[in-house]
Structure 1
């Protein structure tokens, strides 16, 4: 996908001049032809008969209009933005391992389904994509450093268990995940949680991610009715996860079943494709110079006006 943006878009108004120049050219050409037909010396007419006024003038006109068009685009600060075919990002998957992830609204539990779907996700990702694994409850733990080894990632996910440490510290998860991505060209944190944050602040998490330049995509895992755990009913808290995603340039996803969870992770990956921005001004000016030189040569050779 290609997008076009303009740094100084108001200069595009100069493009309105081009139709008038086009019209003026043909009005002037018609006037010149009319005057030529009034020549008394038919020998002179015969001498210029082989010259096609129209074709001569239209070529120069088109080149002039193209030059002016490109100059206006350059003045307007044209930028071309395209998405890379493959995501160049490094990813960290942060999975909530607090007791609320025992909930049975996913069978057999939120945690088990999160692990299974995360494994499917990493196996479908491009083989050169580096991925790390973090688990978090009352504190965050690095389960696997960034790696392209799918076997290491699979083993770390399969070994995940519900933490005995109470609480859900989202801030520590963001800090740990962001630090794993430190030094990477671009990093994305995929946050899978039911959103019941009771340790660490949302605002602090957002600020830290912004400082580190990390994009966070959050997935709220759970049904509207919630699920039963050993301590009672566990319901999801969407607002915190929405705030974290939207304020770090990421996307928020609802996952109420296994399929929607996998779709959310895949969508997060697709939405993380890097956009490459190219400033077109210099390229446009180079083309303008080439066209100007070519036009000058044509005017003084093939399309030279005879005295």
Structure 2
């Protein structure tokens, strides 16, 4: 642990006192030995000198010095990195409901698997986080404004309906607007609560055609980065997926590159999932990233406990070995 890892590091100067006590004890023992050797009649010395437990007699003092060292460290306020649940954050889950999500390359279908994993994500996310739901196809709409009420979100997930086309950029813009609306309603702080968009899609953006269009996915991702709202994307499906539209089999391969670029531009994370298990794994990772934050907290309790045990052990050893307190 570095010097900066203590809340009150100047207490560590007391270790000089502990070291001085240790040196003093050694000097006293040597002086006693010198005085003892002045006796010339060793037979008389053996009769008058009390029996001593040999080197074991040093155990009480050693334990007391160790205890003082540990208690001094505890007084200095050692800190450590700790993971604590977030109680003030916003997450918007944006789910693609374009017709390609009807593909059955992921059993029982992309949409059904996405619904199951999304509900599990809602259940496992830290309770204090506000979770919202956006569905997008040719347009995007807020189905549930960010709230801590998970039942509302899960009910909306169960009632997702498929539609034509994919407007990825609109999904991001709509999610950002939902986050900003909640931040304005909550107020009470100069700094908006941390926010994240989790976007699940299986295909390439079709509305508008170019992701760099003013309403395109790449443009939306850049604006999200400017507002410090990372977009974590999940590419869900396989390269051989297909759907049947008007008796015609149409291939609907996933589009990893564009979703990965959106995550990169916005400062989020990218995940590729081709099964329900992989999708749940991606959500688990996101829950760890979103649901917890790392802070420096007090870590003095273990040092305090060890110090007390060492001091108590020293006193007990003194009474057992020397029949008196040191």
TM-score grouping bracket, smaller chain normalisation? 0.5 to 0.7
CA contact (8 A) 1:93 1:189 kept: yes
Distance in 2 between residues matched to 1:28 and 1:204, nearest whole Å = 75
Relative to structure 1, the CA distance from residue 259 to residue 279 in structure 2 (aligned partners, 3 Å threshold; closer, same or farther) is closer
CA apart distance, 1:223? 0.7
Matched, 1:80 2:96: no
Q: Residue 196 of structure 1 aligns to a residue in which SS? A: coil
Matched, 1:255 2:255: no
Q: Residue 261 of structure 1 aligns to a residue in which SS? A: helix
CA contact (8 A) 2:87 2:128 kept: no
CA contact (8 A) 1:90 1:188 kept: yes
| Structure 2: gaps (5+ residues) | 42-46, 187-191, 206-210, 316-324
Match of 2:218 in 1: 202
Q: Which moved more, 1:49-58 or 1:164-173?
A: 49-58
Map 1:57-206 onto structure 2 (within 5 A).
57-66=61-70, 69=73, 78-84=79-85, 89-106=89-106, 109-122=109-122, 130-164=130-164, 167-169=167-169, 171-176=172-177, 178-179=179-180, 182=183, 183=186, 185-194=193-202, 196-197=204-205, 198=211, 200-202=216-218, 204-205=220-221
Q: Which has the larger radius of gyration?
A: 2
Q: Residue 168 of structure 2 aligns to a residue in which SS? A: coil
Q: Which moved more, 1:171-180 or 1:90-99?
A: 171-180
CA contact (8 A) 1:174 1:205 kept: no
Match of 2:31 in 1: 32
Match of 1:225 in 2: 240
Distance in 2 between residues matched to 1:254 and 1:48, nearest whole Å = 81
CA apart distance, 1:164? 4.4
Q: CA RMSD for the aligned pairs?
A: 5.1
Distance in 2 between residues matched to 1:151 and 1:64, nearest whole Å = 54
CA apart distance, 1:192? 0.9
CA contact (8 A) 1:140 1:176 kept: no
Distance in 2 between residues matched to 1:114 and 1:273, nearest whole Å = 20
Distance in 2 between residues matched to 1:244 and 1:33, nearest whole Å = 78
CA contact (8 A) 1:134 1:173 kept: yes
CA apart distance, 1:262? 3.5
Relative to structure 1, the CA distance from residue 37 to residue 98 in structure 2 (aligned partners, 3 Å threshold; closer, same or farther) is same
Distance in 1 between residues matched to 2:231 and 2:112, nearest whole Å = 22
Deviations 1:194-233 (A, max 9, x none): 2524352437525525634x45443211113343464942
CA apart distance, 1:93? 1.4
Q: TM-score by structure 1 length?
A: 0.62
Relative to structure 1, the CA distance from residue 55 to residue 257 in structure 2 (aligned partners, 3 Å threshold; closer, same or farther) is closer
Q: TM-score by structure 2 length?
A: 0.59
CA apart distance, 1:144? 1.2
| Structure 1: gaps (5+ residues) | none
